[in-house]
Amino acid sequence: MGSLRIRLLALWIMLVVSGIATGYLLFESFQQTANARLARSEELVARACRDLADRYQFFVAGWSGGPIDDRLKSELTAVTRTALAGAAGIEGGIWQANVGSLGYAFPTYEGTGPKTDLPSAEQNTIGQVNAEALRSGHPASIRQAGRSQVLIVHACPLRGPLQGVTGWTMTRVFTAQGPAYNQLLAGLVVLALTIFGSAVWLARLLYTWSRNIALIERALDDRRDGVVDLPKLARTGTPELDRLVDALNATGERLSLERRRAASAERLAALGRLSAGLAHEIRNPIAAMRLKAENALAVADGSRSNAALGTILQQVDRLDILLRDLLDMTQAHEPKLAEVDLASFIDNAVDAHRELAAAKDLILTAGTEGACSELPRFDPFQMQRALDNLILNAIQNCPPGGSVAVEARRRDGRLILRVADTGTGISNELRERLFEPFVTGRADGTGLGLAIVREIARNHDGEARHVATPRGATFEIEVPWRPC
């Protein structure tokens, strides 16, 4: 199924198509009604002309003809008036070629008085239709369409003592007036209002829904200041969306509560692991010192005192290093950012370990990718220590004949520092807890090196991670190239 916006748009399109189709049907219905009226009017005009011909035949019966004078015209006008008296809206008269009108009448004229003047605007048309009827000897008609009416003129030949005489009738059919036209206009107005109202309503509905959904999306996507809880969403005023907003707010509250509980449990678990690891790391040197001291005291001549004191000092140094690393890990130091020449930085970091690598018969390489005129910004001292820890781990875990590669590159506005070795890799049971304090795969390790690497990366708004590779172990530090 498509989105709600697409469905509402489809509904709007259907309304428009339905309105257009209905308007077309209304217009066609009006056209058919108008055509029927025109056909009916043509029939009435032809019938009125036949009635006029019958009256004229009755008038000239037994008459042998005479001069065309005012008296004859008056009598022919009376004949026309009598013939058209029952034909509503029809005017007409008797026409003779080369003379013109012999009689004219409009007995059903609805004006203020009787109409006796031949319509001058239509006189040419009247002459044309009479000439056609006289030429062919059969009735003739002319239809002229105007903007709001159709003019119908009909002529039929008249037989009698007068030569070249025809009768004609005429009517006007108003296509833009009357009940049918008013119904058409009313229907089109209703359709237009319906479609316009539907379009406005649907457009407002689409805009409101789209705006409210966009507000919800922006609120849910907002992760400023490291906030991971669902935000408190404001109600939209739309009941359907408000039910969703209330459900999201309730879900967010439950998730926030569970996250706080999980964080508290995680802190307690981490504290427990840290305490256990710290106790183990401290207990071993203390046990060694106790044993050496007891052995020295057991010999009365004090021959073992110097050796015991030397061992005790070594264990004190070990404890000092352990506590220093622990403090470095737990106390966040604000990095002092500076522009760093990446190639020189990597070379210096690698050079500090070349003798140790050579002593273990390892190949230690350095390289940078993606030269850029813009220098990265980070704390070179903190990052140097992080790289030292990674390089030392790689050297200590790599067998003789292996290699350690240190690389730096820029990727999508981020600085990637990568240390890869060809050693035995990381065991599956350690991978999930590599960066936790006191987790180590070496008997002589403190388990704080990778934890310090992670804290330094996080101090730079970055992250440290282990990258799974087919051979050996690979670690990456990713930080912004140019922090804001």
For residues 477 and 462, the answer to whether their CB atoms sit within 8 Å is yes
pLDDT of residue 225: 45
Question: Are 373 and 326 in a shared domain?
Answer: no
How much is the pLDDT for 20?
75
How many residues comprise the chain? 484
Residue closest to 222 by CA, chosen among 207, 233, 238, 236: 233
Question: What integer pLDDT is reported at residue 226 of this predicted model?
Answer: 47
Q: Is 177 helix (H, G, I), strand (E, B) or coil?
A: coil
Nearest CA among 187, 189, 185, 164 for reference residue 176 = 185
Q: Are 146 and 182 in contact (CB under 8 A)?
A: no
Question: In whole angstroms, what is the distance from residue 252 CA to residue 148 CA?
Answer: 69
**Cα gap 181→174, rounded to integer Å:** 9
Q: What is the pLDDT of residue 128?
A: 92
Helix (H) or strand (E) holding 463: strand 463-467
From first CA to last CA, the distance across the chain in angstroms is 43
Residue 301, pLDDT score? 67
CB atoms within 10 A of CB 230: 18
Domain boundary among 152, 181, 210: 181
Q: How far, in Å, CA of 142 to CA of 38, rounded?
A: 12
Residues 259 and 355 both lie in one domain: no
Query: Residue ranges of the alpha helices (H) in 101-178?
Result: 123-136
Q: Is 282 contained in some domain?
A: yes
183: helix, strand or coil: helix
| Whether the Cβ atoms of residue 170 and residue 151 lie closer than 8 Å to each other | yes
Phi, psi at residue 343, to the nearest 5°?
-65, -45
What residue numbers bound the domain in which 265 lies? Answer: 239-330
Helices (H) and strands (E) in the chain, counts: 11, 12
Spans of the chain below 50 pLDDT: 1, 225-226
Q: What is the 3-state secondary structure (H, E, C) of 38-73?
A: HHHHHHHHHHHHHHHHHHHHHHHCCCCCCCCCHHHH
H helix or E strand, kind and range, residue 165: strand 165-174
CA distances, 239 to each of 66, 212, 348 (Å): 95, 12, 65
Instruction: Give the Cα separation of 473 and 423 in Å (integer).
Output: 7
Distance CA 392, CA 350 (A): 10
User: Does 191 map to a domain?
Assistant: no
Specify whether 355 is located in the same domain as 423.
yes
Residues 472 and 343 in one domain: yes
Give residue 317's Cα distance to chain centre.
65
pTM: 0.42
Residue 10's CATH number: 3.30.450.20
C-beta neighbour count of 252 within 10 angstroms: 16
Asked whether residue 216 is assigned to any structural domain, the reply reads: no
Same domain, 310 and 401: no
3-state secondary structure of 100: strand
Examine the domain organization and report whether 289 and 343 are in the same domain. no
CA 442/CA 157 separation, integer angstroms: 129
Same domain, 358 and 314: no
- Do 343 and 431 sit in the same domain of this protein? yes
My answer on whether 397 and 476 are in the same domain is yes
**Predicted local confidence at residue 373, as pLDDT:** 72
Separation of alpha carbons 183 and 181, rounded Å: 5
Domain final residue pick, 330, 346, 373: 330
